[in-house]
Amino acid sequence: MNLPPEQESIRAKCFHPSGRFVEFEQEDIEQSISDRFEKIVREHAGRLAVKARACSLTYTALNHAANQIAHAILLQRGQATESIGCLLSPGAARAAAMLGVFKAGKIYVLLNPSFPETRIKFMLRDSQSTVILTDHDHLAMAEGLVEDGARLIIVDDLDASLSIDNPGVSVSPDAYAWISYTSGSTGQPKGVVQNHRNLLHLFMTQTNDLHICSEDKLLTLTSVAGELLLAVLNGASVFPVNIQKEGMAGLSDWLMHEEMTVYNSVPSIFRQFAKSLRGDERFPKLRLIRFTGEALYRADVELYKKYCCESCIVVNRLSSNEVPAFRQYFIDHSTVLPDGVVPVGYAIGDYDVRLIGADGQEVGINEIGEIAVKGRHLAPGYWRNPDLTQAKFSSISREAEERIFKTGDLGRVNSDGCLFYLGRQDFQVKIRGNRVEISEIESALIELKSVKEAVVLAREHARGEKRLVAYVVPATHPGPTVTALRKQLAEKLPQYMIPSVFVSLDALPLIGAGKVDRQALPEPEPRRARLDTKYAVPRSPVEEVLVGIWADLLSIDRVGIHDNFFDLGGDSLTATQVVMQVIKNFQLEIPIRCVFESPTVSEMAAVISQHQGKHLSNEELASILAELESLQDEDAQRLINQSGVDSKT
């Protein structure tokens, strides 16, 4: 791994001050996860392994609990390879259950209790899970999920006579370790399979790059099993927090009191955490913040610099279920970030990244393409879905044992090999003929002091066109008006990148890993936006007609006569439709630029009154309407530009 000097310099500081780091050797990936764990137990028997709010376990206690779960599974199912579902909240019990599944030679399937019941049932059926591991807290839910002969094992009711000895089941490095189901995509979730060797390869690269050691204490706010395993396969302590259940209350005190050294979450959770702080908190023991799963913004880095000491380092990573952590970027207090979105950086381990254009060929420097990853440790594929596996994974050569996985993510690489993540392919859309990068808009919104969280989607309008919808969690209530948001964004973004609709939410919906569940964001309601202007009723027949035209074209319930057309969600294409309706209703010609020069109903009504003596003949009316109906949005925008009208009105 060749890093630029400034990246190498930051990485060189990424050590625990105890000096206890021990390298994870290459040969240690040629075993099972349970083999590696049992070695760590022998070396760190009395050390703290897992600590949650409810209980804590040493390595010996964790191993004993995992062994009893493994023996309970083996008594019921024998040693045949099969899937085992785990319906438990983050904590010591889930850690023991996962390790118990590995020790029994089975395949672990996480059933996140926060998921909808229909989704969990699909995962159980698709994974063909024969057993559900659960506890009394989730027993009622688990009983409702049992079907097709599956059995329950209640981990807090295990027979005390079950052996605490290692079960000694031989597990190959090529054996499947878990099935992780993708979240937030359309249709049914896909089950991605990982084997023991690939996961140990991940933990090897992360251990050696970030110098994880037995003295580290890892706080994890995600449900991702890999964060827990990174700790317990190195003799470190892990502190899992169920952030959806416990919230942010007391989190900073716990982080300081336990002197945690490594923080793990998605950026949006860190953003909420940092913005919940009083301002006088300091975390002197925190040496490392690890991000993955979402775009990291410059505003997030500023929060890190505000609350974390000079010795603390941020690592921004890019990963997927199919290729865990294949790029990373190191950040310290001196790092300068000129762009709103933080790069995901440089290669990890032996993974190679290619950017593929629409023609299937590699793109050049600073050109946008789909991120494809080449390596030996890609996921074996999708559970019971060979066609999708073949479509997404391609072999390089049998001898090299390398394959390429097409991620569906977009990126660009600069001249020194640094990768910038630009979101999913469907996050980059064309709006009114212009290519829009959603992450750039989200970054601009998050940097506003009045905004706590923001997500932007491209949604189909009722009339078939795509429009940008911003979902905003305000920093204070009642929050900024749409007028204020549009005005602030206009200082950073071109008009076509400013969302047409703003939806205010108390909180963004999350999935199990703490990532924003974009599929759960609601459709905008057809309501008038909250503007700086108060709602005012029409005062004349002309204003009555205009209010009806605007409300219909903008798909909102009402329009005030002093409301700005663009604050209500109007754009250049809708402006041409307004003009068409005015011509049809009043049989007179007004220019498209009128909507921009007179962007309220009251102002447009005044213009119509000025033109009402100049009626058109039927032939003139038909000709003008035909010309307007043929206009595309780009043509409308061109006419507006030729008129010298500022479309950022």
Whether residue 483 is contained in a domain is answered as: yes
User: Does one domain contain both 445 and 506?
Assistant: yes
User: Exposed (0-12), middle (13-18) or buried (19+): which is 608, by Cβ within 10 Å?
Assistant: buried
Q: Is the peptide bond before 478 cis (omega within 30 degrees of 0)?
A: yes
Asked whether residue 555 falls in the same domain as residue 629, the answer is: yes
Q: Do 625 and 548 have their domain in common?
A: yes
In this structure, the answer to whether residues 566 and 629 fall within a common structural domain is: yes
Strand ranges, E, within 241-349: 262-265, 288-291, 313-318, 327-331, 346-347
CB atoms within 10 A of CB 335: 16
Can you tell me the mean pLDDT for 471-483? 91
Residue 566 lies in a domain: yes
CATH number for 440:
3.30.300.30
Residue 32 has pLDDT above 60, yes or no: yes
At 611, is the secondary structure helix, strand, or coil?
helix
Nearest to 508, CA basis, from 425, 452, 445: 452
CATH number at residue 555: 1.10.1200.10
What integer pLDDT is reported at residue 618 of this predicted model?
A: 62
Share the mean pLDDT of the chain. Answer: 86
Q: Which residue type is seen at 491?
A: E
Q: Are residues 585 and 631 in the same domain?
A: yes
Task: State which of 520, 550, 581 marks the end of a domain.
Answer: 520
Structure token pair of residue 148:
């097709």
300: nearest Cα among 266, 262, 349: 266
pLDDT of residue 512: 63
Whether 437 is covered by a domain: the verdict is: yes
Most confident of 447-451, 456-460, 579-583, 611-615: 447-451
CA–CA distance from 230 to each of 20, 24, 33, 135, 171 (Å)? 16, 11, 11, 25, 20
The pLDDT tens digits of the residues spanning 129-144 come to 999 999 999 999 999 9
pLDDT of 631 strictly over 50: no
pLDDT over 60 (residue 644): no
What is the count of structural domains for the chain?
2
Q: Per residue in 354-396, pLDDT tens?
A: 999 988 899 999 999 999 999 999 999 999 999 989 988 988 6
CB 138 within 8 A of CB 44: no
103 occurs within a structural domain: no
CA dihedral 195, 198, 199, 203 (to 10 degrees): 160
Contacts of 383 (CB under 8 A, 6+ apart): 126, 127, 179, 190, 191, 192, 193
Average pLDDT over residues 459-482: 83
The reply to whether 545 and 637 lie within a common domain is yes
Is 372 contained in some domain?
A: no
Question: CA-based angle 276:457:432, to the nearest 5?
Answer: 135
Does the pTM of the predicted model rise above 0.85?
no
Average pLDDT over residues 515-523: 85
CA-based end-to-end distance of the chain:
50
Q: Give me the domain span that covers residue 498.
A: 432-520
Query: Do both 545 and 633 map to the same domain?
Result: yes
Shared domain for 512 and 597, answered yes or no, is: no
Do 514 and 441 sit in the same domain of this protein? yes
Whole-angstrom distance, CA of residue 61 vs CA of residue 64? 5
Same-domain check for residues 494 and 558: no
Top mean pLDDT of 254-268, 399-413, 573-587 is at: 254-268
- Given 520, 554, 587, which residue is the final one in a domain? 520
Do residues 548 and 637 share a domain? yes
Mean pLDDT is highest, among 166-170, 515-519, 592-596, for 166-170
120/66 Cα distance (integer angstroms): 24
Q: CA torsion 204→207→211→212, rounded to 10°?
A: -140
Cα–Cα dist 421/339, whole Å:
12
Q: pLDDT at position 580, please? A: 77
- Domain end call among 471, 491, 520: 520
**CB contact set of 250 (below 8 Å; sequence gap of 6+):** none
User: Average pLDDT of 160-189?
Assistant: 85
In a domain, 563, yes or no: yes
For 379, counting Cβ atoms within 10 Å of its Cβ (0-12 exposed, 13-18 middle, 19+ buried), the class is buried
Query: Per the structure block, which two tokens stand in for 325?
Result: 């952590």
CA nearest neighbour of 588 among 551, 545, 630, 553:
545
Q: How many residues does the chain have?
A: 649
The pLDDT assigned to 648 comes to: 43
The pLDDT of residue 432 is 61
Together in a domain, 513 and 549: no
65-122 tens-digit pLDDT? 999 999 999 999 999 999 999 999 889 999 999 999 999 999 999 998 877 788 888 8
Residue 645 confidence (pLDDT): 43
pLDDT of amino acid 463: 59
